[in-house]
């Protein structure tokens, strides 16, 4: 789990999560592994990367996963890329790590 911590960055507003998204997946799933080379947590979504559908799905998925209102989940960078930085507003890194540890993130 210590390795997973490298996908997190602490900010004044909360915790920033580095994710790598696979759109058009067979099923929506988070987390879907950990990439130690990129230091990102995997995220699979069914929606296509068209007209913001995938980004909206990511916000909804992460809000649900971390039990946050959608307005507390913000894509800071990578809105047009598979690699994204997501702000979990108001969540400290220890809480994020605790929630992720319960989901048993595995290297991919």
Over the chain, what is the mean pLDDT? 93
Q: Is the peptide bond prior to 31 cis by the omega test (within 30 degrees of 0)?
A: yes
**19-48: average pLDDT:** 96
Residue 108 is assigned to a structural domain of this protein: no
Three-class secondary structure of residue 65 per DSSP: helix
CATH number at residue 38: 3.30.1200.10
**16-40: average pLDDT:** 96
Q: Which domain holds residue 44?
A: 4-101
Is residue 8 within a helix (H) or strand (E), and if so which, with residue range?
Answer: strand 8-11
Residue 79 is assigned to a structural domain of this protein: yes
Please tell me the pTM assigned to this model. 0.92
**How many CB atoms sit inside 10 A of residue 19's CB?**
23
Count up the domains in the chain and report the number: 1
**In this predicted model, what pLDDT tens digit does every residue of 57-74 receive, in sequence order?**
999 999 999 999 999 999
Is residue 63 within a helix (H) or strand (E), and if so which, with residue range?
Answer: helix 53-65
Please tell me the predicted confidence (pLDDT) of residue 105. Answer: 62
Residue 107 is assigned to a structural domain of this protein: no
């Amino acid at each position: 789990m210590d390795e997973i911590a490298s996908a997190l960055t602490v900010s004044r507003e909360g915790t920033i999560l580095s994710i790598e998204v696979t759109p058009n997946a067979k099923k929506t799933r988070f987390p879907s592994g950990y990439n130690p080379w990129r230091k990102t947590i995997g995220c699979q979504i069914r929606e296509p990367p068209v007209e913001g559908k995938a980004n909206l799905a990511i916000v909804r998925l992460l809000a649900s996963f971390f039990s946050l209102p959608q307005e507390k989940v913000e894509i800071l960078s990578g809105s047009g890329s598979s690699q994204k930085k997501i702000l979990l507003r108001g969540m400290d890194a220890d809480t994020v790590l605790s929630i992720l540890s319960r989901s048993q993130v595995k290297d991919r």
